Chains A and B, each alone.
Chain A
Amino acid sequence: MKALCWCGKKNVQVQNVDDPKIINPRDALVRITTTAICGSDLHLYDGYIPTMEKGDVLGHEFMGVVEEVGGGVGNLKKGDRVVVPFTIACGNCFFCQRQLWSACDNSNPNAWMMEKAYGFTGSGLFGYSHMMGGYAGGQAEYVRVPFADVGPLKVPEELEDEQVIFLTDIFPTGYMAAENCNIQKGDTVAIWGAGPVGQFAIRSAKMLGAEQVVSIDHYPKRLKMAAEGGAIPIDFNDEYVYERLLDLTGGRGPDACIDAVGLEAHGTTPDALYDRVKAATFMATDRLHVLRQAIHCCRKGGTVSVPGVYAGFLDKVPMGAAFGKGLTFKMGQTHMHKYLKPLLEHVRAGRIDPRFVITHRAKLDQAAEMYALFAGKKDECIKVLLKP
């Protein structure tokens, strides 16, 4: 089959690889009909996530049709149309049973690696480095889905791929980011990053009852999309973010702040370690700036919610401000399985049409080109869909 392979920093190639097959009883094989490129894929593309190996198949946002199921999968059959959550979870462990799906104990074959780095392992992820399990991803024609009896969700025929594909990651991710803000009536939520995750966080915050949502970025097209979703846009190149947020909240500050940008430069690869030392030496990079700014701007007793990916160590985190104001921090990989059904319901009921975020559609063969375009934020690119 054809699959997009990681061949090193800024080098991805569509190659012919073996077809995947059922390995474990709880596996399913899915023929992919639509897949997407995520901001998280850019961290791999830019070489910031350690434990990638040349030839790894990328992609964690995908959906398709079940081709075959293992003996342990009773709830799916050949021909079912499914969306597949990007986190892989067993459904039976302490964490899965507490809805902490991305903390699953049993789905990472390389648990020891993450344990060494973080103290404990998280769940396996599709196409996201060997530390996260090394599972082949879904920017391909076919994919093997482990624990398919608890992950994939059947989607109704009347909804087309483009309406449900974002249930595989960015809609739940934006939604959990907003949910983590514990939004109360009248609240203001400020969201850094108007990429796809930021866009869904804006709409989710609105759905969860935020009175005022503010979106901070510097790409006009993205800020325009944010405004269309009901947010007040701030271009951080034109305005002082802190001052503007105080103006918008009567001097009190936002009740919650979401960092939907993340911090590429902090991994454990040698170059990331070097960046880390640089960050310590020269104070900060732009991206560190987001988390600091979110902490700085948040009102006393407020919440800082972090869906943006961090991988290593942070320097110059204003812990004094966080402590002094009694902030709450919420973060992590999305507990995907918890959100699939309720968010599908929102789509089905027409409360949100996730297609708004799509700016580019291409063939899987053009994936390398589309990665470069999305990474460079060229051609006003916000979200790319690929068809095998």
Chain B
Amino acid sequence: MTSWFSGILPNDELHAPLEHLPRRHRQKNVGALERTISVLAGGLLVGEGLKRLSLPGLAAAAVGAHLVRRGATGHCGMYHALNVTSVEEDSKLLSHPLHQHIRVHKVMTVNKPAGEVYAFWRDLENLPRFMQHLERVSVTGEKTSHWVARGPRERVVEWDAELVEDKPGEVISWKSVGGSQVPNAGEVRFKGLSEGRGTEVHVLLMYDPPAGVLGALYARLFGAEPGQQVKEDLRRFKQLMEAGELPTIEGQPQGQC
């Protein structure tokens, strides 16, 4: 699974043509597991339905065929009509003056006060602890930092970033600068809740995947399903903040059958 990076891109640093936007982001609205279940359940319904040559049987077969189709194509007309999606990607975006092609917005509530949550994130060198494909972030100045990530085939990708906004307990945003190979931008907003209910952490990231080799680099860095990666990184952030460690089973015993 790949990771994501935040950083708000100034428009003039981006030159990716629109046609390189993966169209499936707009069309797929049925998630992977649901698609598998859909195909399986649909297949069974078709089988069972056709076995019973009655009206309900044929209806079951028709429903089954629909399930197989949406499972295979990842598109469900009913979902579309109802404007719901089980693909982990939000289309509802925070308003932002920049107009990038891919934006991902995710929110998670962390059971800690806003000040504490902000402080952990603001120490940018903490980011690789929960953003999976970041190798390291070094703070190079009051507003500047240097980011190192692992790209495809263990290729190291580096860029400089600059803080755009920084309000303690409220918001941090940043963007890559200086002709980065992977221009990207992001913002994290913290919303403290009443009654000790913790802090909502809203993450917005933007990038514009270019064509060719760089496109593949993006796919690796930001993932084929960017929403899911943001979510997993955000989940790791929450786990670190709340539990102090990341749950894992790596390195535990396993039998051989």
Task: Give A residues with C-beta under 8 Å from B.
Answer: 1, 3, 5-8, 11, 13, 15, 17-21, 23-26, 53-57, 72, 88, 90-94, 97, 105-109, 111-113, 116-117, 124, 133-136, 140, 144, 146-147, 268, 270, 273-274, 276-278, 280-281
Is there contact, CB below 8 Å, between B40 and A93? no
- Size band of the interface chain B makes with A: 35 or more
With A97-B111, A146-B247 already in contact, the answer to whether A136 and B253 are too (CB < 8 A) is yes
Which chain A residue shows the least CB distance to B250? A23
Given A112-B228, A117-B33, A124-B247, decide whether A92 and B252 contact each other with a Cβ distance below 8 A.
no
**Cβ contact within 8 Å between A107 and B232:** no
A3 to B248, Cβ gap below 8 A? no
Residues of chain A within 8 A (CB-CB) of B45 are: 277
B238 at the binding interface (Cβ < 8 Å): yes
A24 touching B238 in the complex, CB below 8 Å, given contacts A13-B257, A97-B111, A112-B232: no
Residue of B nearest to A94 (CB): B111
CA of A24 to CA of B252, assembled, Å = 11
Which residues of the other chain, B, contact A276 by a CB distance below 8 angstroms?
41, 44
| CB under 8 Å from chain A, chain B span 124-169 | none
Q: How far is the CA of A117 from the CA of B252 in the complex (A)?
A: 25
4 nearest A-B pairs in the assembled complex, by CB-CB distance: A5-B255, A7-B257, A55-B255, A90-B243
From B31, which residue of chain A is reached at the shortest CB distance? A116
What A residues does B257 contact at CB under 8 A?
Answer: 5-8, 11, 13, 15, 54-55
Nearest residue, chain A, Cβ from B34: A116
Question: Does B113 sit at the interface, judged by CB under 8 A?
Answer: no
Contact in complex: A26, B249 (CB < 8 Å): no
Chain A residues, Cβ within 8 Å of B243? 26, 90-93, 106-107, 147
Q: How far is the CA of A107 from the CA of B47 in the complex (A)?
A: 40
Bound Cα distance A11, B232 (Å): 34
Q: Does B32 contact A (CB under 8 A)?
A: yes
* Contact residues, B223-257 vs A (CB, 8 A): 228, 231-232, 235, 238-239, 242-257
Q: Is the CB of B44 within 8 A of A57?
A: no
Q: List 20 A-B contacts (CB under 8 A).
A: A5-B255, A20-B253, A21-B251, A25-B245, A26-B245, A56-B255, A92-B243, A93-B111, A93-B242, A107-B243, A112-B232, A116-B34, A117-B33, A135-B249, A136-B249, A147-B243, A274-B44, A277-B48, A278-B48, A280-B48
- Contact digits for B30-46, partner A, Cβ 8 Å, 1 yes 0 no: 01111001001100110
Contact in complex: A24, B245 (CB < 8 Å): yes
Does B109 count as interface, using CB distance less than 8 angstroms?
yes
Chain A residue contacts of B20, Cβ below 8 A: none
Query: Which of B239, B243, B248, B251 gathers most chain A CB within 10 Å?
Result: B243
B197 interface residue (CB < 8 Å to A): yes
Min CB distance, A132 to chain B, in Å? Answer: 11
CB pair A133–B242 under 8 Å, yes or no, is no
In the bound complex, do residue B254 and residue A56 qualify as a contact, i.e. CB atoms below 8 Å apart? yes
**A17 and chain B: residue at smallest CB distance:** B253
Which residues of B sit under 8 angstroms from A11, Cβ to Cβ? 257
Instruction: Judge whether B80 is part of the interface by a CB distance below 8 angstroms.
Output: no
Contacting residues, chain A, for B242 (C-beta < 8 A): 90, 92-93, 105-106
Cβ-closest chain B residue relative to A136: B252
Determine the chain A residues whose CB is within 8 A of the CB of B251 once the complex forms.
Answer: 21, 23
C-alpha spacing A97/B197, complex, angstroms: 11
Return B93 CB to nearest CB of chain A, in Å: 22
Of A13, A147, A268, A273, the contact of B255 (CB 8 Å cutoff):
A13
B52, CB-defined interface residue at 8 Å: yes
Question: Which residues of B (7-42) have their CB < 8 Å from a CB of A?
Answer: 31-34, 37, 40-41
B253 touches A19 (CB 8 A): yes
Take A3-B255, A92-B111, A277-B48 as given contacts and tell me if A24 and B248 are in contact as well, using a CB distance cutoff of 8 Å: yes
Q: Is the interface of A mostly helix, strand, loop or mixed?
A: loop
Determine if B247 and A17 form an interchain contact, defined as CB atoms under 8 angstroms apart.
Answer: no
Asked whether B33 lies within 8 Å of A133 as measured between CB atoms, the reply is no
Say if the beta carbon of B198 comes within 8 Å of chain A: yes
Q: How far is the CB of B72 from chain A (nearest CB, A)?
A: 16
Residues from 149 to 207 in B contacting A, C-beta threshold 8 Å: 197-198
In the complex, chain A residues whose CB is within 8 Å of the CB of B41: 273, 276-277
Query: A3–B253 contact, CB under 8 A?
Result: yes
* Cβ–Cβ < 8 Å partners of B247 in chain A: 24, 88, 106-109, 124, 133, 146
CB pair A55–B249 under 8 Å, yes or no, is no
Whether A94 contacts B109 in the complex (CB less than 8 A), given A106-B242, A106-B247, comes out as yes
CB distance from B11 to the nearest CB of A (A): 33
In the complex, what distance in Å separates the CA atom of A147 from the CA atom of B252?
A: 15
Minimal beta-carbon separation of A25 from chain B (angstroms): 6
Residues of chain A within 8 A (CB-CB) of B244 are: 25-26, 72, 92
Whose C-beta in chain A lies nearest to the C-beta of B232?
A112
CB-contact partner of A15 in B248, B249, B256, under 8 A: B256
Q: Which residues of the other chain, B, contact A117 by a CB distance below 8 angstroms?
A: 33
Out of A13, A23, A112, A280, which one reaches B252, CB within 8 Å? A23
Given A20-B252, A109-B248, 9 more A-B residue pairs with CB atoms under 8 Å apart are: A23-B250, A93-B242, A108-B247, A109-B246, A109-B247, A133-B247, A147-B243, A276-B41, A277-B48
Known: A92-B242, A97-B111, A281-B48. A134 touches B255 (CB 8 A): no
Pair A109/B255 contact, Cβ less than 8 Å:
no
Min CB distance B46 to A, Å, is 10
- Of all chain B residues, which has the CB nearest A11? B257
Residue of A whose beta carbon sits closest to that of B245: A24
Bound-complex Cα distance A274 to B47 (A): 10
Q: In the complex, which of the residues A26, A147, A270, A278 contacts B40, with contact meaning CB atoms closer than 8 Å? A: A270
Separation of A42 and B238 alpha carbons in the complex (Å): 34
CB distance from B23 to the nearest CB of A (A): 23
Q: A94-B109, A109-B247, A135-B249 are in contact. Are A15 and B255 (CB under 8 A)?
A: yes
Tell me the bound Cα distance from A36 to B203 in angstroms. Answer: 45
- Nearest B residue to A121 by beta-carbon distance? B235
Contact of A273 among B31, B40, B228, B235 (CB under 8 A): B40
